[in-house]
């Protein structure tokens, strides 16, 4: 492709509203332009990279036994009413009327459409399992579109759906798609983790998010420094074992702690480690009050509380509720001398000896508190957030934290949609059964942005070879110079005939402009045709390493084969 | 691909609401399913064919120097207001509001979006010409969606736009895209014509429609039986030369013709050829009345009248207007003794000798009418519709008529959008000029349907080789037979390793079902593994010709290479 024939509108300035690197670079390097808030055009370079990601996805999904189809963006409201999501999806679902006033949704996702197709066409266990995927623009009216392609309102997605007769079959398909996703993101060159993200059963394997590690990510991942283990920070169980200090129990004593509220204040005022303080939080759990204890240096994970109690709603009690139940402010809450409030404690609390806790009385704490001796505990459980330095839940390595961009999600839907929409099949015995479903998404345009977040330097984008819009950027410095022009054109034609994908900068621009644009665009290999063109010598530069070679033009093809 | 892993829901019955062959076959063979009126899903086979058409389009568009990009479906109303189409596009444009109440259109076409991008990014003649294309679903809320994929509300389109500095440049790009379109439809195996479709200047070259010849088409094409000439029937000029009959002129005579109104009645009653009758039609042309004469066996083409008179509006006069201007009913109108009405006549009328015309008096006609002798004619022009049997306007061959399905359209927009939206550039002299634009569309999903209209027989679809969803349909008749199963699997693996695209029917179905499905689906080559599997012999069938060969399985690859 000659640069004069395409549109690569590079910018020198960082666009004012672009906060993060990928957004800035994709705009500056001319890959995308915004058409409306959260709505983008992929200019020629952007579209080329998008297609490369798409092809990787297709290959891996096909390999996993998924079959491509294409469903419409226009979806009848009736389908969403059947699943119940017409009401629950809220204002993120874009809605419109056709000329006859009928209600439609713009596809935010396609569970309803695929389920309606499959319930009509598949009636027997013999035809299951089936796995379908499509690549298509989706529409979600984000409240606050931001970060360029990371959170848009129209964005490209690969979604997939499986229909299974049994749980084993669903598990098997899920594993296949999981592997496909790992392959896809690996082939995109991404540093990612498959993160446990089950919001139901603790540590379950029913949903994983694929997270690209990045400081601009909106989720926190807890991952092992040596194994594959990774989980959304809310999801990671704590397997730390705590040793009880070997010291004699002292007598429980109430002390005056004027204006001392927080763990830090208590710790400083009484000169004790925060790990020897007991943090007591009153929760309202399905209309009942429960006091949850963790160590002062730990934080309560309310999802764990909810799961332990098998509760529907877990909320921190308000100051008013705390006052009315315990007779004190939140900073003075403690577990001693409670009558009607159940006490739950994290495992770590059991190992506290002669610790400190609130006295349920303004400006007073207890010291020399010994759990069980001084107050009853209904049960010791894993109730806290995992922390950096904790052992990894899989027993291998130490937990570290990172921020992640969610680029993929695999989810066992079970019968959520097939129940609501009556997608059934006849089993071997002729009995009607509800299908089990899985749903598997990849944000294609978001993946593009995530790659840019990970592959850039101060000069611009540094594409991994297999996603780069072109393999070679060929730059005759001065196209008015006959030698340079001839050598440039000859090389262009030869490389194209050898099936290299070449972008030739045939613009009449200053060398500085050409080089800056080239670095910004980020094609892996640059070939500069300059003053030595007359001797048949050109310069080859590796965008990533910065290495530069002077090469006889006859040797270029060999060199490129090595580099690419 | 194993058939058990994909979804090909064939139907024995013709769906009740499918009127035309392509709609019936695409439903029956399991290529598509309807999700809402005019809204379809492409099931796995349909999606595969769609991708093959897309790839042909990409190759030819790239070859023509066009560059792919991708614009969003969500388009801000402001853009359509700038072009004026927010008002004029009417209810075919699907509209919606975002969560903030802002107006959006769903992309029916993308002139506005691309123009808004280019006016911002391109400022100099040096960057022109530019040609862009995209492949994407479009949305048009058709009043009466019908004929399956031929007239849907969400459909796949390849649209392209060119930006040019000069008319010559626009002409040159237009010709390149024209050639690309010819290549695309040729590679799809279609019998098509590039049809002159200019509604402005007669016979101009500013717009062509690519029409696939088909009885279900909604347009009539006039084409030469020997040359490439083809035009929308309204557009074809008539170049017939007429010979005046060599007989003496008789005296003009008024005759009583009770209740005789139409040309057929006049011709029968007076025993004259309809070609010797003068058909006289009163038109209202921009508030003035004009009488237009053609031969009795011809029909007035009002677009030609409009162009000859350079008029804005040409309408047939109502019976009331006719009565008030000529004092008679429409069946008695004639050109004799008119004072204030201009008379225009088609060239053919000049050669009438002793003809017949209405007398502007109820129940009377004139016989022995001789134009010019008996009434003045302002001008003789080409004013009639071309007919089958007329000489082709390009001088080569004879005109025939056919119905056509419009699959492509190339159009010189000129400055229609660039004027309205202020897309300008600076020319060599630093002067601001308005860009010229072209617009070039292909209905991708419609092309798929058009191919099916042309490639089918009584048993199902008969795909041209390069569009078929698979190349080979491999059918082990009885998968419970060990020999058949082994030979089938071996052949499947070998053909796949040789890069043939194979669908294997591994279903446990009766042979009759498998064969009927195979014929319906229409894959070019069928390989049946039956009783002779144990001897290593299989049957190869050509779907198109019906030819059957018994082949040793070792010879299959060679045979396939010849057939495909």
- pLDDT averaged per 10 residues in sequence order, chain B, 564 residues: 97 92 98 97 98 98 98 97 93 96 97 98 97 98 94 97 97 97 98 82 68 92 94 92 90 94 94 95 94 97 92 92 93 91 96 96 95 95 96 96 96 93 96 96 98 97 97 96 95 96 96 97 97 95 96 93 91
For the record, the structure tokens of B51 come out as: 């991708």
**Spatial strand order in the sheet of B472-476:** B502-504, B472-476, B525-529, B537-542, B548-552
Q: Which residues of A200-224 are buried (b: 16+ CB within 10 A; e: fewer)?
A: eebeeebbbbbbbbbebbebebbbb
Give the Cα separation of B290 and B341 in Å (integer): 6
| pLDDT attached to residue B380 | 96
Give the Cα separation of A337 and A348 in Å (integer): 21
Task: Please give the sequence-ordered ranges of beta strands (E in DSSP) within B26-129, or none if there are none.
Answer: 32-36, 39-42, 67-68, 74-76, 95-97, 103-106
Partner-chain contact A7 B122, CB within 8 Å:
yes
For the record, the structure tokens of A136 come out as: 């298509």
Where residue B548 sits, what CATH number does that domain have? 3.40.50.800
Contacts of B133 in chain A (CB under 8 A): none
Do B424 and B519 sit in the same domain of this protein? no
Query: Taking a C-beta distance cutoff of 8 angstroms, is the pair A184, A410 a contact?
Result: no
Q: Which residues contact A323 (CB under 8 A, 6 or more apart)?
A: A329
Instruction: Compute, in degrees rounded to 10, the torsion defined by CA atoms B314, B320, B324, B330.
Output: 80
Q: What share of chain B is helix, strand, coil (3-state, %, to 5)?
A: 30, 30, 40
pLDDT band at A245 (very low <50, low <70, confident <90, very high): confident
For residue A481, count CB atoms less than 10 angstroms from its CB and return exposed for 0-12, middle for 13-18, buried for 19 or more.
Answer: middle
Q: Does B351 map to a domain?
A: yes
Do A185 and A315 sit in the same domain of this protein? no
pLDDT band at A313 (very low <50, low <70, confident <90, very high): confident
Partner-chain contact A72 B39, CB within 8 Å:
yes
Give the Cα separation of A444 and A61 in Å (integer): 14
Helices (H), A360-481: 416-420, 444-454
Q: Does A248 map to a domain?
A: no
Which residue's entry shows tokens 């395409």? A6
Helices (H), B125-199: 167-187
Other Cβ atoms within 10 Å of B7 Cβ, number: 20
Partner-chain contact A39 B72, CB within 8 Å:
yes
Q: Which of B1, B48, B96 sits opposite A95 (nearest CB)?
A: B96
Instruction: Report how far apart, in Å, the C-alpha atoms of A279 and of each of A265, A276, A313, A365 are.
Output: 12, 10, 21, 12
pLDDT at residue A201 above 90? Answer: no
CA distance B466 to chain A (A): 19
Do A435 and A511 sit in the same domain of this protein? no
Residue A304 — left, alpha, or beta (φ > 0 → left; ψ -120 to 50 → alpha)?
alpha
**What are the beta bridge partners of residue B349?**
none
Partner-chain contact A153 B98, CB within 8 Å:
yes
Contacts of B137 in chain A (CB under 8 A): 72-73
Q: Which residue of A has its CA nearest to B39?
A: A72
How many CA atoms does the CB half-sphere of A455 hold within 13 Å? 27
Residue A269 parent element (H or E): helix A263-270
Q: Which residue of B has its CA nearest to A126?
A: B4
Query: Taking a C-beta distance cutoff of 8 angstroms, is the pair B508, B479 a contact?
Result: yes
| pLDDT attached to residue B297 | 96
Do B196 and B64 sit in the same domain of this protein? yes
Pairs across A and B, CB distance < 8 A: 162
Partner-chain contact A42 B137, CB within 8 Å:
no
Query: Taking a C-beta distance cutoff of 8 angstroms, is the pair A152, A92 a contact?
Result: no
For residue B271, count CB atoms less than 10 angstroms from its CB and return exposed for 0-12, middle for 13-18, buried for 19 or more.
Answer: exposed
Residue B546 — left, alpha, or beta (φ > 0 → left; ψ -120 to 50 → alpha)?
left
Q: Does B90 map to a domain?
A: no
| pLDDT attached to residue B245 | 80
Please give the tally of structural domains in chain A: 3
Contacts of B153 in chain A (CB under 8 A): 74, 98
Q: Which of A4, A42, A74 sits opposite B70 (nearest CB)?
A: A42
Tens of pLDDT along A109-164? 999 999 999 999 999 999 999 999 999 999 999 999 999 999 999 999 999 999 99
| pLDDT attached to residue A409 | 95
Which residue's entry shows tokens 């569970």? A111
Do B372 and B259 sit in the same domain of this protein? yes
Read off the pLDDT of each residue in A446-467 and give the average, rounded to a whole number: 97
Among B1, B3, B7, the strongest candidate for a mutation testing the A interface, having the largest count of A CBs within 10 A, is B7
Q: Which residue of A has its CA nearest to B7?
A: A130
Do B52 and B183 sit in the same domain of this protein? yes
Q: Does B17 map to a domain?
A: no
What is the percentage of chain A residues whose pLDDT exceeds 70? 99
Q: Does A458 map to a domain?
A: no
Other Cβ atoms within 10 Å of A13 Cβ, number: 8
Contacts of B91 in chain A (CB under 8 A): 99
Contacts of B36 in chain A (CB under 8 A): 72, 74-76, 104
Do B283 and B164 sit in the same domain of this protein? no
In angstroms and rounded to an integer, the radius of gyration of the C-alpha atoms of chain A is 30
Q: Which of B33, B91, B104 sits opposite A117 (nearest CB)?
A: B33
CA distance A296 to chain B (A): 44
pLDDT at residue A199 above 80? Answer: no
Partner-chain contact B121 A9, CB within 8 Å:
yes
| pLDDT attached to residue A205 | 56
Do A13 and A83 sit in the same domain of this protein? yes
Q: Which of A43, A69, A95 sits opposite B69 (nearest CB)?
A: A43
Query: Taking a C-beta distance cutoff of 8 angstroms, is the pair B139, B157 a contact?
Result: no
Q: Does A245 map to a domain?
A: no
Query: Taking a C-beta distance cutoff of 8 angstroms, is the pair B153, A98 a contact?
Result: yes
Read off the pLDDT of each residue in A216-245 and give the average, rounded to a whole number: 92
Find out whether the peptide bond into A129 is cis, omega within 30 degrees of 0: yes
CA distance A231 to chain B (A): 33
HEC string of B319-334? HHHHHHHHCCCHHHCC
Partner-chain contact B41 A117, CB within 8 Å:
yes
For the record, the structure tokens of B407 come out as: 């699959």
Q: Does A103 map to a domain?
A: yes
Contacts of B104 in chain A (CB under 8 A): 36
Partner-chain contact B72 A47, CB within 8 Å:
no
Q: Which residues contact A332 (CB under 8 A, 6 or more apart)?
A: A261, A358, A359, A360, A361, A362, A363, A364, A365
Q: Does B213 map to a domain?
A: yes
Q: Which domain holds residue A139?
A: 3-237+400-451
Which residue's entry shows tokens 């072109």? A470
Contacts of A122 in chain B (CB under 8 A): 7
Other Cβ atoms within 10 Å of A428 Cβ, number: 9
Contacts of B8 in chain A (CB under 8 A): none
Q: Which of A47, A98, A154 sits opposite B141 (nearest CB)?
A: A98
Do B479 and B417 sit in the same domain of this protein? no
Among B98, B154, B470, B504, the strongest candidate for a mutation testing the A interface, having the largest count of A CBs within 10 A, is B98
Partner-chain contact A39 B74, CB within 8 Å:
yes
Contacts of A117 in chain B (CB under 8 A): 33, 35, 41, 43
Give the Cα separation of B212 and B192 in Å (integer): 4
Partner-chain contact A72 B35, CB within 8 Å:
yes
What's the mean pLDDT when you consider all of chain A? Answer: 95
Partner-chain contact A74 B42, CB within 8 Å:
no
Contacts of B132 in chain A (CB under 8 A): 7, 44
ipTM: 0.89
Do B227 and B134 sit in the same domain of this protein? yes
Where residue A341 sits, what CATH number does that domain have? 3.90.960.10
**What are the beta bridge partners of residue B447?**
none
Do B299 and B445 sit in the same domain of this protein? no
Query: Taking a C-beta distance cutoff of 8 angstroms, is the pair B467, B516 a contact?
Result: no
Tens of pLDDT along B285-326? 998 999 999 999 999 999 899 989 988 889 999 999 999 999
Query: Taking a C-beta distance cutoff of 8 angstroms, is the pair A260, A359 a contact?
Result: no
* Length in residues, chain A: 564
pLDDT at residue A45 above 60? Answer: yes
| pLDDT attached to residue B204 | 44
Contacts of A1 in chain B (CB under 8 A): 67
| pLDDT attached to residue B468 | 98
Tens of pLDDT along A459-473? 999 999 999 999 999
Helices (H), A84-130: 85-88, 111-121
| pLDDT attached to residue A425 | 98
Residue B441 parent element (H or E): strand B436-443
Do A350 and A445 sit in the same domain of this protein? no
Contacts of A130 in chain B (CB under 8 A): 5-7
DSSP B509-520: --HHHHHHHHHH
Q: What share of chain A is helix, strand, coil (3-state, %, to 5)?
A: 30, 30, 40
Query: Taking a C-beta distance cutoff of 8 angstroms, is the pair A533, A551 a contact?
Result: no
Residue A176 parent element (H or E): helix A167-187
Q: Which residue of B has its CA nearest to A49?
A: B69
Residue A168 parent element (H or E): helix A167-187
Where residue B422 sits, what CATH number does that domain have? 3.30.930.10
């Amino acid at each position: 492709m000659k640069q004069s024939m395409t549109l690569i509108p590079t910018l020198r300035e960082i666009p004012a509203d672009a906060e993060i690197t990928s957004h800035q670079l994709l705009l500056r390097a001319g890959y995308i332009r915004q058409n409306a808030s959260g709505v983008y055009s992929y200019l020629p370079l952007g579209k080329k990279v998008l297609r490369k990601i798409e092809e990787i996805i297709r290959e891996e999904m096909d390999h996993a036994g998924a079959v491509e189809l294409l469903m419409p963006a226009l979806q009848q409201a009736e389908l969403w009413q059947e699943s119940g999501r017409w009401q629950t999806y809220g204002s993120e679902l874009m809605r419109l009327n056709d000329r006859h006033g009928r209600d439609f949704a713009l596809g935010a996702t396609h569970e309803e459409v695929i389920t309606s197709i499959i319930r009509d066409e598949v009636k027997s266990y013999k035809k299951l399992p089936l796995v379908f995927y499509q690549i298509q623009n989706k529409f979600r009216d984000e409240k606050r579109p931001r970060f360029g392609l990371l959170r848009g309102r129209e964005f490209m997605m690969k979604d997939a759906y499986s229909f299974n007769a049994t749980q084993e079959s669903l598990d098997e398909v899920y594993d296949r798609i999981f592997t496909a996703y790992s392959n896809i993101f690996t082939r995109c060159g991404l540093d990612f983790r498959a993160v446990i993200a089950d919001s139901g059963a603790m540590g379950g394997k029913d949903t994983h998010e694929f997270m690209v590690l990045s400081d601009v990510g909106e989720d926190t991942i807890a991952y092992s420094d040596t194994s594959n283990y990774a989980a959304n920070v809310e999801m990671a169980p704590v397997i730390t074992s705590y040793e009880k200090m070997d010291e004699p129990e002292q007598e429980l004593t109430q002390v005056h702690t004027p204006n001392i509220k927080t763990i830090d204040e208590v710790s400083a005022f009484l000169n004790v480690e925060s790990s020897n303080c007991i943090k007591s939080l009153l929760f309202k759990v399905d209309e009942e009050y429960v006091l949850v204890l963790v160590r002062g240096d730990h934080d309560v994970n309310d999802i764990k509380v909810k799961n332990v109690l098998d509760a529907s709603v877990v909320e921190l009690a308000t100051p008013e509720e705390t006052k009315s139940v315990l007779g004190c402010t939140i900073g003075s809450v403690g577990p001693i001398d409670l009558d009607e409030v159940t006490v739950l404690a994290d495992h770590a609390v059991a190992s506290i000896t002669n610790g400190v806790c609130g006295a349920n009385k303004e400006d007073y704490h207890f010291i020399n508190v010994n759990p069980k001796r001084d107050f009853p505990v209904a049960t010791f459980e894993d109730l806290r957030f995992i922390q950096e330095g904790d052992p990894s839940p899989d027993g291998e390595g130490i937990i570290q934290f990172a921020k992640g961009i969610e680029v993929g999600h695999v989810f066992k839907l079970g019968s959520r949609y097939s129940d609501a929409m009556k997608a059934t099949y006849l089993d071997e015995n002729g009995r009607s059964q509800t299908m089990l479903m899985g749903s598997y998404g990849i944000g294609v345009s978001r993946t593009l942005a995530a790659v840019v977040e990970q592959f850039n330097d101060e000069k611009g984008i540094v594409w991994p070879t297999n996603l780069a819009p072109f393999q070679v950027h060929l730059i005759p410095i001065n196209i008015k110079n006959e030698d340079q022009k001839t050598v440039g054109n000859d090389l262009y034609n030869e490389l194209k005939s050898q099936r290299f994908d070449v972008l030739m900068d045939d613009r009449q621009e200053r060398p500085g402009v050409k080089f800056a644009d080239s670095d910004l665009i980020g094609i892996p290999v640059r070939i500069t045709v300059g003053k030595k063109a007359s001797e048949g010598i050109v310069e080859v530069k590796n965008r990533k390493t910065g290495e530069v070679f002077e090469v006889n033009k006859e040797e270029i093809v060999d060199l490129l084969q090595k580099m690419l």
